[in-house]
Structure 1
Amino acid sequence: MSKEQKEGFTRQKLDEIIENGAGIIGSVSSTALGFLVAGPVGGFVGAAVSSPITSILKRLGSEVSDQIMAPREKTRVSATYLKSAIMIKERLDAGEEPRKDGFFDFKDNDRPSAETVLEGMLQKAKNEHEEKKLEYYSAFLTNITFDDSIDFQKSITLIKIIDRLSYQQLCILSYISDLNQINFENWGKLFQDEEKAQTHLDFYFEIAELFELSLLKQFNGKLLGGFKNGELTQIGSKLFQLMNLNQIPETDKNLVENKINLIENL
């Protein structure tokens, strides 16, 4: 197969991904992703072309296109992949450099760590029924490309945590980050004694799980068998940064605030 034929084949696969992802992220110009097609067919010159992440994105893009998935699964994976590729390209074009700690290097009998992490996140995206989370999956993939403070094992652990979180929990983390700290002083007694509070146990468990996952911690004393206050831990703050949770819409954070106020006023 000639170079031109290979590039034409790559372009065809990229167009399929763009078409599949449109159901979530809308229309994307193939020109904007020309850096993923080398040479004249790509028609693209810039920092993204020579970046080590580009070849990994190309390989994963080819795999995404070839995999047998249900239509909605393919839409989720394609949307997450495309959003990540676009965000990575924007940062490369702005002059940022990818991490240089060997994250993109082939190892003895093993592929690059970056490829394993990106594929792992795309696999989670495939099965993610809460599609509002997907843009934050893309943010994680983008930021991990440039942040060498998160090594391979930490990346894998964070992916496991992200997979467990609901969209509402992402909103809770963003809401608490805005406040810096939050009090739950009366919640233990409230949920134990007030029958009306039982209808909000799902929300209570969502917050309790954030403590269990070490994303929240108590900042002023501890309550046996519960929590009386909370703030983001170091890993919670890092996840907030990597997932761009500062971009959670205010309307969704308002839902969290309304729920907390409702419980407080029982």
Structure 2
Amino acid sequence: MKQDEIKKTIIDNVSECAGSAAGAVAGGLIGAAIGGPEGAAAGSVAATAIEHMFQTMGCEIKKRTLAPLEEQRVGTVYAKAKELIEEKIAQRKTPRNDIFFDKDSSSRPASEELLEGTLLAAQKEHEEKKTVYLARLYANILFHPEISRPTANHLVKLAEQLTYRQIAILNNIATMQFARTLNPPINPLKKSAYESVSGTENVAIAAEIFDLYRMSILGSSQVILDAGGINPSTLTVVGYGAHLYNLMDLDSMEPDPELIEIQASIMLFLIGAKQRQ
């Protein structure tokens, strides 16, 4: 496919570069869907900014030269993020009404900056199953005013660094963390630290858990000095990990046969069972 054709087909549903007028009209219609006069007024302003931002970035993307796989990944995240935002607004959820969408004399809006960062992360992401979670992260940040610009940028950077299996690890450990709060509590996890870890899968999972611990995404009531010193029963999702879990909607991961196998291996490590070599 020629580069000109790639640019034309990069994102099927991207708005034409027709300036802010069309965005203002569309934004007003979206904002009016938010319940109540106050919600409509605040939502209309934010929704107009969102429409204009997606137009701006859509036009910017179309100017760039991307390899076919990069085009696919960027287009997927762009379209999915836009779809999720529209779904939330249709559900009468109000976008954040703060300076996140404002442009000042020294910088462009945080929302636009973050969208570019998210799309750049998608462009370089070789694990394509991660792309939906990048889209979820971006879309949800636009509805959470407690997430500041610096925090939002850091979360995208952290998400970019995670492997698909580390995302699954967050899901598994958060699920077990919740299970421990039940009455009676459920905690089938290994109750003591590994003295050593053996087996290809276990070694890899231990290394990825330790990496999450060093990134302060996972915490433990016992200090972990290396990948071999993990006590699964003490692991919790903390700090930025909690933000990632919530904003990437990891309580509802995309169904996939490979994911089932990955999570089974993670659970075998967490309960201390032997895995196939």
Provide TM-score, normalisation by structure 2.
Answer: 0.75
Of residues 82-91 and 181-190 in structure 1, the stretch that sits farther from structure 2 once superposed is: 181-190
Q: Alignment partner of 2:194: what SS? A: helix
1:257 to 242, 255, 264: 264
Given residue 230 of structure 1, which amino acid in structure 2 is its aligned partner? Answer: L
What do you get for the CA RMSD once the two structures are aligned? 3.1
Is contact 1:36-1:54 (8 Å) kept?
no
Given residue 55 of structure 2, which amino acid in structure 1 is its aligned partner? Answer: K
1:219-248 deviations in whole A, cap 9, x for unaligned?
3x4355433220111321111011111121
- The 2-side partners of 1:140 and 1:118 are apart by 10
- The 1-side partners of 2:269 and 2:26 are apart by 56
Residue number in structure 1 paired with 2:10: 17
CA shift, 1:78, in A, is: 0.7
Gaps of 5+ in 1: 1-11, 20-29
Residue number in structure 1 paired with 2:100: 103
Residue number in structure 2 paired with 1:23: none
Residue number in structure 2 paired with 1:188: 194
CA shift in 2, pair 1:153/1:223, >3 Å:
closer
- The 2-side partners of 1:258 and 1:126 are apart by 29
Residue number in structure 1 paired with 2:50: 53
2:226 pairs with 1:222: no
CA shift in 2, pair 1:85/1:188, >3 Å:
same
Residue number in structure 1 paired with 2:248: 243
Given residue 215 of structure 1, which amino acid in structure 2 is its aligned partner? Answer: I
Residue number in structure 2 paired with 1:66: 63
Residue number in structure 2 paired with 1:24: none
- The 2-side partners of 1:94 and 1:159 are apart by 25
CA shift in 2, pair 1:210/1:44, >3 Å:
closer
Provide TM-score, normalisation by structure 1.
Answer: 0.78
CA shift, 1:260, in A, is: 3.6
CA shift in 2, pair 1:214/1:262, >3 Å:
closer
Q: How many residues align?
A: 237
CA shift, 1:94, in A, is: 2.6
Is contact 1:13-1:62 (8 Å) kept?
no
Gaps of 5+ in 2: 32-43, 181-186
